[in-house]
């Protein structure tokens, strides 16, 4: 098999060759290509020179292909169609008629995000299906391979190549308790350490941001319950004397319904940065872009909502004079 130097070949010559093989006439090919007859003849001459074959020769009132041209066109036509599919602009996404399945990985620390997103999807795209998954250590790789349309991860997670990120802001921690909890009357670091807490155990991680902050500041909380899901926390708080220190997003929709209060943590807890991530391969995909925007907008709306519910007069202030952090 003889190797051919592809750098010598102009793809436009193959386009001209295909039209000539269809029309068998330089003049008709020129009309289809919107070029002059001399330009088409020049392209044919260049291709003949590069391939070392006459390709098409004049016979009577038309042109007849050589045996090599007959074999060549069988490969050129599907090749040109493939290139057209590859470089064609993405087709517009029409939500109302789409049957697309979107896959997203976001932990349940935002329990009201899923129903908010699904409600909007059903309103605008009734034929669309959403698969909502819990993130795991393999999530970044699944995103890179475009197996997921979107994921929400801590910004500290290492990402493989081919993944794009966008900041989702920082999550601050607030302490929560039922509205008539005995600790509220004299809320302080002493109360925070004396009353038992409910914590969410995520994977094998032994210590989270709250415990790290407590350790640094000489505090130790007692754990009264450990659960696998954030969605279980609000009901536990409403029916027990447990406390919970976590992102207010967990409590969206539950504070008024279950009678919970937001309390200022009596210790300094560094916020955790989060990012939305998706595959570069899906960046320009109209459908995936539509879904990303829908989820991100819903998430941003919830962040603004809970920020109001857990600030100002809605937040029980801590008496910090009763607590002195370790010298560092």
Residue 151 pairs in a beta bridge with 105, 277
What does the mean pLDDT of the chain come to?
Answer: 89
Distance of alpha carbon 248 from alpha carbon 302, whole angstroms: 10
**How many angstroms separate the CA atoms of 137 and 146, rounded?**
16
Of the chain, the percentage scoring pLDDT greater than 90 comes to 73
Global pTM? Answer: 0.71
Q: How far apart are CA 209 and CA 136, in angstroms?
A: 19
Domains in the chain: boundaries: 6-87, 99-170+274-301, 172-272+308-322
Contact yes or no for 190/324 (Cβ under 8 A): no
| Distance in angstroms (rounded) separating the CA atoms of residues 108 and 105 | 10
Instruction: Give 311 or 140, the one with higher predicted confidence.
Output: 140
User: Is residue 324 over pLDDT 50?
Assistant: no
Per-residue pLDDT reduced to its tens digit, 188-237 = 999 999 999 999 987 655 568 898 999 999 999 999 999 999 999 999 99
Q: Which CATH architecture has domain 6-87?
A: Orthogonal Bundle (1.10)
CATH classification of 172-272+308-322 is 3.40.50.300, yes or no? no
Selected from 3.40.50.300, 3.40.920.10, 1.10.10.60, 3.40.190.10, the CATH number assigned to the domain covering 99-170+274-301 reads 3.40.190.10
**236 burial type by CB count under 10 A (0-12 exposed, 13-18 middle, 19+ buried):** middle
> Is there a shared CATH topology between the 6-87 domain and the 99-170+274-301 domain?
no
When pLDDT is averaged across residues 162-181 and rounded to a whole number, the result is 95
C-beta of residue 243 within 8 angstroms of C-beta of residue 102: no
- Residues forming a β-bridge with 262: 176, 315
């Amino acid at each position: 098999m003889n190797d051919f130097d592809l750098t010598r070949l102009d793809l436009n010559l193959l386009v001209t060759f295909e039209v000539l093989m269809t029309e068998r006439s330089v003049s008709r090919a020129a009309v289809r290509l919107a070029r002059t007859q001399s330009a088409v003849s020049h392209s044919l001459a260049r291709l003949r020179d590069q391939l070392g074959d006459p390709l098409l020769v004049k016979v009577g009132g038309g042109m007849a292909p050589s045996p090599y041209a007959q074999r060549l066109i069988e490969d050129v036509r599907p090749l040109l169609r493939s290139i057209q599919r590859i470089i064609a602009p993405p087709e517009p996404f029409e939500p109302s008629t789409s049957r697309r399945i979107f896959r997203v990985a976001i932990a349940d620390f935002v329990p009201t995000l899923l129903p908010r997103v699904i409600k909007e999807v059903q309103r605008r795209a009734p034929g669309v299906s959403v698969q909502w998954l819990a993130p795991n250590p393999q999530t970044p790789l699944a995103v890179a391979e475009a197996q997921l349309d979107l994921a929400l991860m801590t910004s500290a997670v290492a990402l493989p190549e081919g993944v794009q990120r966008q900041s989702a802001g920082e999550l601050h921690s607030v302490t929560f308790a039922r509205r008539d909890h005995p600790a509220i009357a004299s809320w302080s670091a002493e109360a925070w350490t004396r009353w038992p807490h409910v914590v969410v155990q995520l994977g094998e991680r032994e210590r989270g941001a709250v415990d790290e902050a407590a350790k640094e500041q000489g505090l130790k909380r007692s754990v009264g319950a450990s659960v696998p899901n954030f969605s279980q926390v609000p009901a536990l708080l409403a029916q027990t004397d447990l406390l919970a220190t976590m992102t207010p997003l967990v409590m969206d929709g539950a504070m008024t319904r279950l009678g919970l209060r937001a309390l200022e943590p009596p210790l300094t807890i560094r916020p955790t940065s989060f990012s939305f991530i998706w595959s570069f391969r899906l960046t320009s995909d109209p459908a995936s872009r539509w879904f990303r925007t829908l989820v991100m907008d819903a998430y941003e709306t919830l962040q603004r909502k809970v920020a109001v519910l857990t600030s100002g007069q809605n937040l029980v202030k801590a008496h910090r004079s009763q607590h002195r952090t370790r010298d560092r």
